[in-house]
Amino acid sequence: MTTESSEQNITNFIQPVSIPEHMTMDITNAFFSACRIGLKPGELLHTSWFDLKYSMSAIEIMDPKMDARVQGNRKVLTVCEALSSEQLPLGPFSSLYELLGIIDELLAACVNWLTGDSLAQSIFICMYMHCTQLIRDKYLAAFCELLRRSIYQLRHIIICANVFDEEDHYKFTHGMPVHEPSNIFDGYGGFCNDCLHKLSVLELIAHVNDLNRNLENESTMFADREEKLLMGLHSRLQFVQVLLLFTNSIFECINPTRVYFEQDLFEGYTHADLDFSEQNPSPPKMYEAKNNTEFLWDSFIDICRKVSQHLSSLKSLSDTLVETSNIGKMAGEGKFRPKDAAYGLPGFEVFLNQTNVPTYMPKVVNIHDRHKSFVYFSSLFTRLNHILCTYENFALWNVLHPEPLRLHSLWTFIQKSGQISCPYVKALLFPDDSSEVNEPMLTTCVLSKTIIYMFHSTLMGQGDAIELQPPFLSPVHFLNSWQELEPTAYRPLIKNIIYNIPELMSFFTTLSNHFAHVSAHFSLYIFLNLLYIRLILNLFHLLIIVIFCTCSTRT
């Protein structure tokens, strides 16, 4: 069809109509009919100001994934609107089944945050986390406050360690009330609970102990007071209680006066008062006697054992959560189709914080399955406990045989453990067929990596408190430590090549002799030398590969 004939058809189709000034009329059908007649496939009708920027926006608008955050026709309530319309039940809850459903969904949302989702799209889609001071149910109020403090402290520890990648952890809060409940709800409706957010950690722990102790006697308030439901509530309160004790014990490894961070990360706080009391936390024991080496290692071993005890309790409680993952009320279809239906649990709204989240985050986060989330917790705390036991064994080993080689072996463990992706992360994020997922596509466990480097930094930060009295070191020690990073199948080959080349054997002998005479009062200097040695060894690794390939070719 020619252009002239197209224009003639359009002219014949749209007859001129005499209309008065300022009169409007619907031209939708006529416009689309004219486009069907006058435009060829692939052509676009646009005005003169339609440039490349607008064309790219049009392509994005037509992409279905850009519609993920569109709320649809369903009315989305804010926290204030839900409170005013009494659509947010504040308790006391008469159904343990419903209460456990809310608690379990919050724990699953916590796993979302630990695996890279933002706080605004995971934990804080629950309205109860915004207005904890208004909750009349004492069990839910205590749980929300314990969870908030644990999240706040974990976030502080992760950011201080600063060993995470962007895909592993999302550090910004986007205005979410992480430090304490939003103060706009103080005294709302003439009610405010016991102000749990103003209690110190020890006072809050004592309060939760009282709740657990009197739970069975006060269970008459629940219509469905079955034994397994009561035990489920008890175990969940105890879980977040021990989680808070765990984060507090980790903080003993941090000197608060040495921590510096950007203001926008903590919304103006100049000091992270992790104890939530008026007094700043005292410096950890490891800094009180820097010149006492024996005291240093004993203190480090005590911290490892203390943290390990909390991890053992968390592992046991996680197993209980796995066994009772289905005793609470499940979310409705709105969890996966939020545009069409409500969430199905009181207080949860997927689109609650959409105005706070920037436009470069178009996706809607689906809270993980509860059973898989609790399995993640169990595997996570098992791994963390293994890490702490390794540090404890290293410290005990170093007390008996203080040598620089111990630091080298420890660095080997850190390098291997910090960079390898964890199987439980793979099983959670790729549940369908995780065996076929490529390693570069996986995220590492941000919490395990943080604990690894946090404890290592604690040791290296002691300066001249670490006394090393190295004897003559055999070059075989360096070879064995180096080979720990290599595949098992290659280790005998590498050792044979080095033993059969006198120049390489002489190099490692000279290296061990020089390293044995490094000053014992410069542990950080030793650490930097280890990095330099690692670089040299990697270069020799390449040389050995070349030699091996050459020998194979000749053969």
Chain segment 37-75, per-residue pLDDT in tens:
888 887 878 777 777 666 666 666 656 555 555 556 678
- The residues pairing with 348 across neighbouring beta strands, listed in sequence order, are 126
pLDDT at 536: 61
Which residues are within 8 A (CB) of 63 and not within 5 positions of it... i.e. 6 or more apart?
A: none
d(CA 394, CA 386): 12
Burial classification of residue 473, based on how many CB atoms lie within 10 Å of its CB (0-12 exposed, 13-18 middle, 19 or more buried): buried
Q: Residue 451's pLDDT band (boundaries 50, 70, 90)?
A: confident
What is the identity of the amino acid at 270? Answer: T
Stretch among 33-37, 47-51, 352-356 having the lowest mean pLDDT: 47-51
Residue 152: name the closest of 137, 135, 132 by CA. 132
pLDDT at 237: 95
Average per-residue pLDDT for the chain: 74
d(CA 500, CA 547): 12
What is the identity of the amino acid at 421? Answer: S
Helices 227-251 + 138-161 axis angle, to 10:
30
pLDDT at 294: 62
- Confidence check: pLDDT of 299 > 90: no
H helix and E strand count, the chain: 17, 0
**Is 479 in contact with 405 (CB distance < 8 Å)?**
no
* Residue of higher predicted confidence among 98 and 502: 98
Query: Scanning the structure block, which residue is given the tokens 């990095």?
Result: 531
Query: Scanning the structure block, which residue is given the tokens 């005005």?
Result: 47
**Is 477 in contact with 185 (CB distance < 8 Å)?**
no
With b for 16 or more beta-carbon neighbours within 10 A and e for fewer, the 373-390 pattern comes to: bbbbbbbbbbbbbebbeb
453: three-class secondary structure by DSSP: helix
CA atoms in the 13 A half-sphere facing the CB of 194: 14
Stretch among 177-191, 370-384, 468-482, 507-521 having the lowest mean pLDDT: 468-482
385: three-class secondary structure by DSSP: helix
Query: Scanning the structure block, which residue is given the tokens 């006391």?
Result: 92
What is the identity of the amino acid at 302? Answer: D
In the chain, % of residues over pLDDT 70: 60
Residue 233: name the closest of 343, 346, 142 by CA. 142
**Is 82 in contact with 131 (CB distance < 8 Å)?**
no
The structure tokens listed for 22 are: 């300022």
Q: What is the mean pLDDT of residues 22-29?
A: 82
- Confidence check: pLDDT of 131 > 80: yes
Model confidence over 10-24: pLDDT tens digits? 445 445 555 556 678
The structure tokens listed for 414 are: 């850190």
